[in-house]
Protein backbone atom coordinates (compact mmCIF):
# COMPACT_ATOMS: atom_id res chain seq x y z
CA UNK A 1 0.00 0.00 0.00
CA UNK A 2 0.98 3.64 -0.41
CA UNK A 3 2.61 5.29 2.57
CA UNK A 4 2.16 9.02 3.08
CA UNK A 5 2.67 10.85 -0.22
CA UNK A 6 4.59 8.06 -1.94
CA UNK A 7 3.26 6.39 -5.08
CA UNK A 8 4.15 2.85 -6.06
CA UNK A 9 4.19 2.40 -9.83
CA UNK A 10 4.68 -1.12 -11.17
CA UNK A 11 6.18 -1.51 -14.65
CA UNK A 12 7.13 -4.35 -16.98
CA UNK A 13 9.53 -3.88 -19.91
CA UNK A 14 10.60 -6.93 -21.83
CA UNK A 15 13.68 -6.09 -23.91
CA UNK A 16 16.30 -3.44 -24.62
CA UNK A 17 14.00 -1.06 -26.52
CA UNK A 18 11.40 -1.29 -23.75
CA UNK A 19 14.11 -0.72 -21.16
CA UNK A 20 15.09 2.52 -22.93
CA UNK A 21 11.47 3.71 -23.19
CA UNK A 22 10.81 2.80 -19.57
CA UNK A 23 13.86 4.66 -18.28
CA UNK A 24 12.87 7.91 -20.02
CA UNK A 25 9.27 7.57 -18.85
CA UNK A 26 10.37 7.14 -15.23
CA UNK A 27 12.38 10.35 -15.43
CA UNK A 28 9.51 12.26 -17.08
CA UNK A 29 6.96 11.08 -14.53
CA UNK A 30 9.16 12.22 -11.68
CA UNK A 31 9.43 15.65 -13.30
CA UNK A 32 5.67 16.03 -13.82
CA UNK A 33 4.45 14.81 -10.42
CA UNK A 34 3.83 17.51 -7.78
CA UNK A 35 6.74 18.23 -5.47
CA UNK A 36 4.82 16.87 -2.47
CA UNK A 37 4.70 13.40 -4.06
CA UNK A 38 7.45 10.85 -4.56
CA UNK A 39 7.25 7.70 -6.67
CA UNK A 40 8.84 4.28 -6.37
CA UNK A 41 9.07 2.20 -9.57
CA UNK A 42 9.42 -1.59 -9.51
CA UNK A 43 8.69 -4.76 -11.46
CA UNK A 44 10.52 -6.14 -14.52
CA UNK A 45 13.07 -3.96 -16.31
CA UNK A 46 16.58 -3.63 -17.60
CA UNK A 47 19.77 -1.74 -16.72
CA UNK A 48 18.63 1.64 -18.09
CA UNK A 49 15.50 1.54 -15.95
CA UNK A 50 17.57 0.51 -12.94
CA UNK A 51 19.88 3.47 -13.55
CA UNK A 52 16.75 5.68 -13.39
CA UNK A 53 15.94 4.30 -9.93
CA UNK A 54 13.80 1.32 -10.91
CA UNK A 55 13.84 -1.80 -8.70
CA UNK A 56 13.98 -4.81 -11.03
CA UNK A 57 12.57 -7.90 -9.34
CA UNK A 58 13.29 -9.83 -12.55
CA UNK A 59 15.55 -8.72 -15.45
CA UNK A 60 13.98 -7.70 -18.76
CA UNK A 61 16.18 -10.30 -20.51
CA UNK A 62 13.86 -13.02 -19.14
CA UNK A 63 11.13 -11.82 -21.51
CA UNK A 64 13.33 -11.09 -24.55
CA UNK A 65 12.17 -14.04 -26.66
CA UNK A 66 10.61 -13.70 -30.13
CA UNK A 67 8.80 -16.22 -32.32
CA UNK A 68 6.28 -18.93 -31.47
CA UNK A 69 8.74 -21.80 -31.29
CA UNK A 70 11.13 -19.79 -29.13
CA UNK A 71 8.37 -18.66 -26.74
CA UNK A 72 7.12 -22.22 -26.38
CA UNK A 73 10.57 -23.36 -25.23
CA UNK A 74 10.58 -20.68 -22.49
CA UNK A 75 6.86 -20.72 -21.74
CA UNK A 76 7.01 -22.38 -18.36
CA UNK A 77 9.57 -19.95 -16.95
CA UNK A 78 7.89 -16.86 -18.42
CA UNK A 79 4.45 -17.96 -17.27
CA UNK A 80 5.78 -18.63 -13.77
CA UNK A 81 7.30 -15.14 -13.54
CA UNK A 82 4.05 -13.55 -14.67
CA UNK A 83 1.91 -15.40 -12.15
CA UNK A 84 4.29 -14.58 -9.30
CA UNK A 85 4.23 -10.90 -10.25
CA UNK A 86 0.43 -10.89 -10.50
CA UNK A 87 0.15 -12.44 -7.06
CA UNK A 88 2.42 -9.77 -5.56
CA UNK A 89 0.55 -6.91 -7.22
CA UNK A 90 -2.87 -8.16 -6.15
CA UNK A 91 -1.64 -8.67 -2.58
CA UNK A 92 -0.15 -5.17 -2.40
CA UNK A 93 -1.80 -3.07 -5.15
CA UNK A 94 0.31 -0.37 -6.77
CA UNK A 95 -0.96 3.12 -7.59
CA UNK A 96 -0.65 2.27 -11.28
CA UNK A 97 0.63 -0.43 -13.60
CA UNK A 98 2.47 0.50 -16.80
CA UNK A 99 3.23 -2.19 -19.36
CA UNK A 100 5.99 -1.12 -21.72
CA UNK A 101 5.61 -3.04 -24.98
CA UNK A 102 5.87 -6.88 -24.43
CA UNK A 103 2.15 -7.23 -25.28
CA UNK A 104 1.80 -10.99 -24.94
CA UNK A 105 3.12 -10.80 -21.39
CA UNK A 106 1.61 -7.48 -20.35
CA UNK A 107 -1.93 -7.66 -21.74
CA UNK A 108 -2.61 -10.86 -19.78
CA UNK A 109 -1.34 -9.13 -16.65
CA UNK A 110 -3.12 -5.84 -17.34
CA UNK A 111 -6.50 -7.50 -17.86
CA UNK A 112 -6.37 -9.13 -14.42
CA UNK A 113 -5.08 -6.00 -12.72
CA UNK A 114 -7.75 -3.80 -14.29
CA UNK A 115 -10.42 -6.28 -13.21
CA UNK A 116 -9.09 -5.88 -9.66
CA UNK A 117 -9.42 -2.08 -9.87
CA UNK A 118 -5.76 -1.24 -10.48
CA UNK A 119 -5.33 1.45 -13.18
CA UNK A 120 -3.43 0.17 -16.23
CA UNK A 121 -1.46 1.94 -18.95
CA UNK A 122 0.12 0.29 -21.99
CA UNK A 123 3.03 2.19 -23.53
CA UNK A 124 3.67 1.20 -27.18
CA UNK A 125 0.72 -0.11 -29.12
CA UNK A 126 0.96 -3.73 -30.25
CA UNK A 127 1.17 -3.89 -34.04
CA UNK A 128 -2.55 -4.61 -34.49
CA UNK A 129 -2.28 -2.82 -37.84
CA UNK A 130 0.19 -5.45 -39.05
CA UNK A 131 -1.18 -8.74 -37.71
CA UNK A 132 -3.54 -10.21 -35.06
CA UNK A 133 -5.94 -7.26 -35.25
CA UNK A 134 -8.43 -9.14 -33.07
CA UNK A 135 -6.27 -8.20 -30.08
CA UNK A 136 -7.99 -4.80 -29.93
CA UNK A 137 -10.96 -6.37 -28.12
CA UNK A 138 -8.60 -7.90 -25.59
CA UNK A 139 -6.80 -4.58 -25.22
CA UNK A 140 -10.09 -2.83 -24.48
CA UNK A 141 -10.60 -5.17 -21.52
CA UNK A 142 -7.02 -4.75 -20.32
CA UNK A 143 -6.00 -1.08 -20.44
CA UNK A 144 -7.31 2.26 -19.25
CA UNK A 145 -5.06 4.16 -21.65
CA UNK A 146 -2.96 3.19 -24.69
CA UNK A 147 0.06 5.36 -25.48
CA UNK A 148 0.84 5.18 -29.21
CA UNK A 149 4.18 5.88 -30.87
CA UNK A 150 2.83 6.29 -34.40
CA UNK A 151 0.28 8.86 -35.64
CA UNK A 152 -2.12 6.46 -37.37
CA UNK A 153 -2.66 4.24 -34.31
CA UNK A 154 -5.13 6.18 -32.06
CA UNK A 155 -7.87 6.13 -34.71
CA UNK A 156 -7.74 2.31 -34.77
CA UNK A 157 -8.38 2.19 -31.03
CA UNK A 158 -11.05 4.89 -30.96
CA UNK A 159 -13.19 2.75 -33.27
CA UNK A 160 -13.26 0.15 -30.50
CA UNK A 161 -13.78 2.53 -27.60
CA UNK A 162 -10.19 2.35 -26.33
CA UNK A 163 -8.72 5.60 -24.99
CA UNK A 164 -5.49 6.20 -26.93
CA UNK A 165 -3.02 9.06 -27.23
CA UNK A 166 -0.36 9.68 -29.87
CA UNK A 167 2.85 10.62 -28.06
CA UNK A 168 5.39 10.29 -30.87
CA UNK A 169 8.52 8.19 -30.71
CA UNK A 170 11.20 8.93 -28.09
CA UNK A 171 13.98 7.98 -30.49
CA UNK A 172 12.92 10.87 -32.72
CA UNK A 173 13.57 13.21 -29.79
CA UNK A 174 16.87 11.57 -28.93
CA UNK A 175 18.46 11.35 -32.39
CA UNK A 176 19.47 14.68 -34.00
CA UNK A 177 18.05 15.66 -37.40
CA UNK A 178 21.59 15.78 -38.80
CA UNK A 179 23.76 13.15 -37.06
CA UNK A 180 27.48 13.91 -37.01
CA UNK A 181 29.12 11.11 -39.02
CA UNK A 182 32.59 12.57 -38.67
CA UNK A 183 32.38 12.76 -34.86
CA UNK A 184 31.03 9.20 -34.68
CA UNK A 185 33.91 7.92 -36.80
CA UNK A 186 36.38 9.77 -34.63
CA UNK A 187 34.95 8.10 -31.52
CA UNK A 188 35.31 4.71 -33.22
CA UNK A 189 38.80 5.37 -34.64
CA UNK A 190 37.64 5.21 -38.26
CA UNK A 191 39.16 7.29 -41.04
CA UNK A 192 36.78 9.84 -42.61
CA UNK A 193 37.04 8.29 -46.09
CA UNK A 194 36.51 4.64 -45.03
CA UNK A 195 33.51 2.76 -46.44
CA UNK A 196 31.63 1.59 -43.33
CA UNK A 197 28.76 -0.88 -42.99
CA UNK A 198 26.87 -1.27 -39.71
CA UNK A 199 25.52 -4.77 -39.08
CA UNK A 200 22.67 -5.01 -36.56
CA UNK A 201 21.66 -8.67 -36.16
CA UNK A 202 19.21 -8.12 -33.26
CA UNK A 203 19.31 -7.87 -29.49
CA UNK A 204 18.08 -11.36 -28.62
CA UNK A 205 20.10 -14.56 -28.53
CA UNK A 206 17.26 -16.26 -30.42
CA UNK A 207 17.66 -13.73 -33.25
CA UNK A 208 21.39 -14.31 -33.53
CA UNK A 209 20.75 -18.04 -33.59
CA UNK A 210 18.88 -17.64 -36.87
CA UNK A 211 20.66 -14.65 -38.40
CA UNK A 212 24.31 -14.34 -37.28
CA UNK A 213 25.58 -16.62 -40.05
CA UNK A 214 23.67 -14.65 -42.70
CA UNK A 215 25.14 -11.36 -41.48
CA UNK A 216 28.69 -12.74 -41.49
CA UNK A 217 28.44 -14.37 -44.93
CA UNK A 218 26.97 -11.14 -46.33
CA UNK A 219 29.90 -9.18 -44.89
CA UNK A 220 32.33 -11.62 -46.51
CA UNK A 221 30.76 -10.98 -49.91
CA UNK A 222 30.83 -7.22 -49.37
CA UNK A 223 34.51 -7.45 -48.36
CA UNK A 224 35.27 -9.12 -51.70
CA UNK A 225 33.50 -6.32 -53.59
CA UNK A 226 34.83 -3.51 -51.36
CA UNK A 227 38.23 -4.69 -49.98
CA UNK A 228 38.77 -1.57 -47.82
CA UNK A 229 35.32 -1.73 -46.17
CA UNK A 230 34.95 -1.91 -42.41
CA UNK A 231 32.09 -3.56 -40.52
CA UNK A 232 30.69 -2.45 -37.16
CA UNK A 233 28.61 -4.91 -35.13
CA UNK A 234 27.02 -3.48 -31.97
CA UNK A 235 25.86 -6.21 -29.59
CA UNK A 236 23.73 -5.67 -26.52
CA UNK A 237 25.13 -8.18 -24.04
CA UNK A 238 28.13 -10.38 -23.30
CA UNK A 239 26.05 -13.40 -24.28
CA UNK A 240 25.22 -12.07 -27.75
CA UNK A 241 28.79 -10.86 -28.26
CA UNK A 242 30.16 -14.32 -27.40
CA UNK A 243 27.54 -15.88 -29.67
CA UNK A 244 28.60 -13.70 -32.62
CA UNK A 245 32.32 -14.25 -31.98
CA UNK A 246 31.78 -18.00 -31.99
CA UNK A 247 30.03 -17.73 -35.37
CA UNK A 248 32.93 -15.71 -36.79
CA UNK A 249 35.33 -18.50 -35.82
CA UNK A 250 33.01 -21.27 -37.01
CA UNK A 251 32.64 -19.62 -40.42
CA UNK A 252 36.36 -18.89 -40.80
CA UNK A 253 35.79 -15.14 -40.89
CA UNK A 254 38.72 -14.13 -38.67
CA UNK A 255 40.17 -11.98 -41.49
CA UNK A 256 36.98 -9.99 -41.90
CA UNK A 257 37.50 -6.29 -41.09
CA UNK A 258 34.91 -6.33 -38.34
CA UNK A 259 34.74 -4.46 -35.04
CA UNK A 260 32.45 -5.84 -32.34
CA UNK A 261 31.01 -3.15 -30.09
CA UNK A 262 29.48 -3.57 -26.67
CA UNK A 263 26.43 -1.39 -27.22
CA UNK A 264 27.17 1.84 -29.12
CA UNK A 265 24.54 1.03 -31.77
CA UNK A 266 23.89 4.72 -32.36
CA UNK A 267 27.58 5.43 -32.90
CA UNK A 268 27.73 2.53 -35.35
CA UNK A 269 24.74 3.80 -37.34
CA UNK A 270 25.93 7.41 -37.29
CA UNK A 271 29.35 6.34 -38.59
CA UNK A 272 28.02 4.02 -41.30
CA UNK A 273 27.49 4.57 -45.00
CA UNK A 274 24.83 1.84 -45.05
CA UNK A 275 23.16 -0.50 -42.58
CA UNK A 276 22.16 -4.15 -42.68
CA UNK A 277 19.54 -4.52 -39.98
CA UNK A 278 17.21 -7.14 -38.53
CA UNK A 279 13.57 -6.07 -38.58
CA UNK A 280 12.57 -4.31 -35.37
CA UNK A 281 13.09 -0.98 -33.64
CA UNK A 282 16.62 -0.73 -35.07
CA UNK A 283 15.13 -0.19 -38.55
CA UNK A 284 13.47 2.99 -37.30
CA UNK A 285 16.72 4.08 -35.63
CA UNK A 286 18.59 3.64 -38.91
CA UNK A 287 15.94 5.74 -40.67
CA UNK A 288 16.23 8.50 -38.04
CA UNK A 289 20.00 8.46 -38.66
CA UNK A 290 19.08 8.95 -42.37
CA UNK A 291 21.00 5.84 -43.43
CA UNK A 292 20.42 3.68 -46.51
CA UNK A 293 19.52 0.23 -45.24
CA UNK A 294 18.56 -3.29 -46.14
CA UNK A 295 16.14 -5.04 -43.78
CA UNK A 296 16.06 -8.77 -43.18
CA UNK A 297 14.52 -11.23 -40.80
CA UNK A 298 14.72 -14.96 -40.19
CA UNK A 299 13.01 -17.18 -37.64
CA UNK A 300 12.18 -20.84 -37.18
CA UNK A 301 10.20 -22.35 -40.10
CA UNK A 302 7.27 -23.04 -37.74
CA UNK A 303 7.12 -19.42 -36.51
CA UNK A 304 7.48 -18.12 -40.07
CA UNK A 305 4.52 -20.16 -41.36
CA UNK A 306 2.28 -18.77 -38.62
CA UNK A 307 3.47 -15.17 -38.96
CA UNK A 308 3.08 -15.17 -42.75
CA UNK A 309 -0.56 -16.25 -42.51
CA UNK A 310 -1.49 -13.59 -39.97
CA UNK A 311 0.17 -10.44 -41.30
CA UNK A 312 -2.06 -7.83 -42.94
CA UNK A 313 0.33 -5.80 -45.07
CA UNK A 314 3.30 -6.35 -47.35
CA UNK A 315 5.92 -4.58 -45.17
CA UNK A 316 7.70 -5.66 -41.99
CA UNK A 317 10.25 -2.84 -41.56
CA UNK A 318 9.05 0.25 -39.72
CA UNK A 319 10.38 2.76 -42.32
CA UNK A 320 8.31 1.01 -44.98
CA UNK A 321 5.23 0.62 -42.76
CA UNK A 322 5.26 4.31 -41.82
CA UNK A 323 5.82 5.35 -45.43
CA UNK A 324 3.17 2.88 -46.69
CA UNK A 325 5.54 1.78 -49.45
CA UNK A 326 8.85 0.00 -50.00
CA UNK A 327 11.27 2.84 -49.31
CA UNK A 328 14.07 0.36 -48.54
CA UNK A 329 14.52 -3.32 -49.53
CA UNK A 330 13.28 -6.14 -47.30
CA UNK A 331 14.40 -9.77 -47.48
CA UNK A 332 12.65 -12.37 -45.35
CA UNK A 333 13.39 -15.99 -44.53
CA UNK A 334 14.72 -17.85 -47.62
CA UNK A 335 15.08 -14.60 -49.57
CA UNK A 336 17.36 -13.25 -46.85
CA UNK A 337 20.44 -14.92 -48.29
CA UNK A 338 23.94 -13.39 -48.45
CA UNK A 339 23.92 -12.93 -52.23
CA UNK A 340 20.69 -10.89 -52.22
CA UNK A 341 21.71 -8.83 -49.22
CA UNK A 342 25.23 -8.03 -50.43
CA UNK A 343 23.93 -7.05 -53.87
CA UNK A 344 21.29 -4.73 -52.41
CA UNK A 345 23.73 -3.06 -49.99
CA UNK A 346 26.35 -2.61 -52.68
CA UNK A 347 23.77 -0.97 -54.95
CA UNK A 348 22.73 1.45 -52.19
CA UNK A 349 26.22 2.72 -51.39
CA UNK A 350 26.92 3.20 -55.09
CA UNK A 351 23.82 5.24 -55.98
CA UNK A 352 24.03 8.85 -54.82
CA UNK A 353 20.53 9.75 -56.15
CA UNK A 354 18.91 6.99 -54.07
CA UNK A 355 20.85 8.08 -51.01
CA UNK A 356 19.60 11.66 -51.38
CA UNK A 357 15.99 10.52 -51.84
CA UNK A 358 16.22 8.35 -48.73
CA UNK A 359 17.68 11.22 -46.71
CA UNK A 360 14.74 13.44 -47.70
CA UNK A 361 12.14 10.75 -46.92
CA UNK A 362 13.70 9.91 -43.56
CA UNK A 363 13.94 13.59 -42.56
CA UNK A 364 10.20 14.02 -43.18
CA UNK A 365 9.52 10.88 -41.11
CA UNK A 366 11.72 12.21 -38.30
CA UNK A 367 9.74 15.47 -38.21
CA UNK A 368 6.43 13.60 -37.89
CA UNK A 369 7.65 11.44 -35.01
CA UNK A 370 9.42 14.13 -32.94
CA UNK A 371 6.77 15.00 -30.31
CA UNK A 372 8.62 15.30 -26.95
CA UNK A 373 7.34 11.80 -26.34
CA UNK A 374 8.06 11.09 -22.70
CA UNK A 375 6.66 14.45 -21.58
CA UNK A 376 3.46 13.79 -23.55
CA UNK A 377 3.32 10.24 -22.21
CA UNK A 378 3.76 11.39 -18.61
CA UNK A 379 1.04 14.02 -18.95
CA UNK A 380 -1.31 11.49 -20.59
CA UNK A 381 -0.75 9.15 -17.63
CA UNK A 382 -1.67 11.74 -14.99
CA UNK A 383 -5.47 11.59 -15.55
CA UNK A 384 -5.40 7.83 -14.94
CA UNK A 385 -3.54 8.44 -11.70
CA UNK A 386 -6.05 11.16 -10.79
CA UNK A 387 -9.00 8.85 -11.33
CA UNK A 388 -7.47 6.23 -9.04
CA UNK A 389 -9.63 3.41 -7.69
CA UNK A 390 -11.26 2.39 -4.44
CA UNK A 391 -9.60 -1.02 -4.36
CA UNK A 392 -6.05 -0.08 -3.51
CA UNK A 393 -5.14 2.06 -6.53
CA UNK A 394 -4.05 5.66 -6.24
CA UNK A 395 -6.70 8.01 -4.79
CA UNK A 396 -5.94 11.65 -5.65
CA UNK A 397 -8.36 12.99 -3.06
CA UNK A 398 -6.07 11.59 -0.37
CA UNK A 399 -2.73 12.19 -2.07
CA UNK A 400 -2.96 15.52 -3.97
CA UNK A 401 -3.42 18.85 -2.19
CA UNK A 402 -6.24 20.82 -3.87
CA UNK A 403 -3.89 23.45 -5.33
CA UNK A 404 -1.59 20.86 -6.91
CA UNK A 405 -4.54 18.92 -8.34
CA UNK A 406 -5.72 22.10 -10.05
CA UNK A 407 -2.26 22.76 -11.45
CA UNK A 408 -2.01 19.26 -12.92
CA UNK A 409 -5.53 19.40 -14.37
CA UNK A 410 -4.72 22.74 -16.01
CA UNK A 411 -1.50 21.29 -17.47
CA UNK A 412 -3.35 18.25 -18.84
CA UNK A 413 -6.10 20.42 -20.35
CA UNK A 414 -3.57 22.71 -22.04
CA UNK A 415 -1.66 19.75 -23.47
CA UNK A 416 -4.82 18.11 -24.80
CA UNK A 417 -5.82 21.44 -26.44
CA UNK A 418 -2.39 21.66 -28.12
CA UNK A 419 -2.72 18.09 -29.37
CA UNK A 420 -6.19 18.79 -30.79
CA UNK A 421 -4.93 21.88 -32.61
CA UNK A 422 -1.97 19.97 -34.04
CA UNK A 423 -4.30 17.40 -35.58
Contact 318, 281 (CB under 8 A): yes
pLDDT tens sequence across 77-111: 788 899 999 999 999 999 999 999 888 899 999 99
The CATH-assigned architecture of domain 6-168+371-422 is 3-Layer(aba) Sandwich (3.40)
Contact 114, 133 (CB under 8 A): no
62 vs 304, residue with greater confidence: 304
Looking at the DSSP bridge assignments, the partners of residue 166 are 148
The rounded distance, in Å, linking the Cα atoms of 282 and 376 is 23
Is CATH 3.40.50.300 the classification given to domain 175-369? no
The rounded distance, in Å, linking the Cα atoms of 246 and 254 is 10
The pLDDT value recorded for residue 360 is 96
Look over the chain and give the mean of its residue pLDDT values, rounded to a whole number: 85
pLDDT tens sequence across 24-46: 999 999 999 888 788 999 999 99
Please choose, from the candidates 270, 263, 282, 273, the residue with its C-alpha nearest in 3D space to the C-alpha of residue 184: 270
The pLDDT value recorded for residue 2 is 52
CA atoms within 13 A on the CB side of 77: 12
Q: In what order do the strands lie in the sheet with 293-297?
A: 258-262, 230-235, 196-200, 274-278, 293-297, 330-332
Q: Read off the pLDDT of each residue in 229-239 and give the average, rounded to a whole number.
A: 93
pLDDT over 60 at 119, yes or no: yes
193 vs 315, residue with greater confidence: 193
Q: pTM of the full predicted structure?
A: 0.75
Domain boundaries, the chain: 6-168+371-422, 175-369
Fold match between domain 6-168+371-422 and domain 175-369: yes
Confidence band for 254, pLDDT divided at 50, 70 and 90: confident
pLDDT tens sequence across 260-310: 999 899 999 999 999 999 998 899 999 999 999 999 999 888 877 776 666
Phi-psi sector, 231: left (phi>0), alpha (psi -120 to 50), beta: beta
Please choose, from the candidates 377, 383, 374, the residue with its C-alpha nearest in 3D space to the C-alpha of residue 409: 383
CB-based contacts of 343-349 (< 8 A; 24+ apart in sequence): 344/294, 345/197, 345/218, 345/222, 345/274, 345/276, 345/294, 346/222, 346/225, 346/226, 348/274, 348/292, 348/293, 348/294, 349/195, 349/226, 349/273, 349/274, 349/292
Amino acid sequence: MNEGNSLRIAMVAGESSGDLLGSHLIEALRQHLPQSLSADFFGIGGPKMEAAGFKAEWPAEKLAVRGYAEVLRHYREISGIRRKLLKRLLADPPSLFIGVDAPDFNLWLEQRLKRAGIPTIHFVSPSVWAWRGGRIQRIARAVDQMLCLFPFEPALYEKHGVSATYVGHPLADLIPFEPDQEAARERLNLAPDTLVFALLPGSRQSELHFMAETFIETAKLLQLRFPQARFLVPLISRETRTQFENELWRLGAQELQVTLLFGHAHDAMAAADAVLVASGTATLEAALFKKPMVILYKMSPFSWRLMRRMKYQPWVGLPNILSRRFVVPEFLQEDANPANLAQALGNLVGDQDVRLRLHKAFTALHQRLRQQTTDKAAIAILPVLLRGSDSGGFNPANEFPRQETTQISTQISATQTDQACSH
